[in-house]
Amino acid sequence: MATMAGRTDIDYSKSTLAQGEDKQKGNALVVLLVGPPGSGKSTFCENVMQASSRPWVRICQDIINNGKSGTKAQCLSSAAAALKDKKSVFIDRCNLDKEQRADFVKLGSPEVDIHAVVFDLPAQLCISRSVTRSGHEGNL
């Protein structure tokens, strides 16, 4: 697992996620974003997707139900459908413990590589970000 400790100097276009390095093998990716609200998961996801030539789908439980909060089962179903369409997937939810990640890890196969990016920031920073942001889809 990679750890993102509040860095703002990242050139996302040079990321292997953006460059599609695994795409040469023909493999789709599932990238589990792990971190509390306010840690930068959605921002990271958006930046990589903008810099990438790889086809991505962002799965966010906060809006999966026609713009409203949904279920883990809906996230799993959407992820499986995207993978079937040969798209790579960001799982943009907290995924803080092993049990929360386990079903998403099962999406892996010889054709689907699983990765996790851990956002390990101080709790106070995440709280500060959460209370000052506006218009966030999760309303947190």
Domain-by-domain residue ranges, the chain? Answer: 25-132
In tens, the pLDDT along 75-88 reads 999 999 999 999 99
CA–CA gap between residue 4 and residue 138 (Å, rounded)? 21
CA–CA gap between residue 74 and residue 14 (Å, rounded)? 32
Determine the 3-state secondary structure of 115 from DSSP: strand
CA–CA gap between residue 134 and residue 38 (Å, rounded)? 12
In tens, the pLDDT along 32-79 reads 999 998 899 999 999 999 999 999 999 999 899 888 889 999 999 999
CA–CA gap between residue 27 and residue 29 (Å, rounded)? 6
Residue type (1 letter), 43: T
Rounded to two decimals, what is the model's pTM?
A: 0.78
In tens, the pLDDT along 14-36 reads 555 555 554 456 799 999 999 99
| Fold of the domain spanning 25-132 | Rossmann fold (3.40.50)
Strands (DSSP E) contained in 2-136 are: 2-4, 28-34, 56-59, 88-92, 112-119
Judge whether residue 93 has pLDDT over 60. Answer: yes
CA–CA gap between residue 119 and residue 46 (Å, rounded)? 15
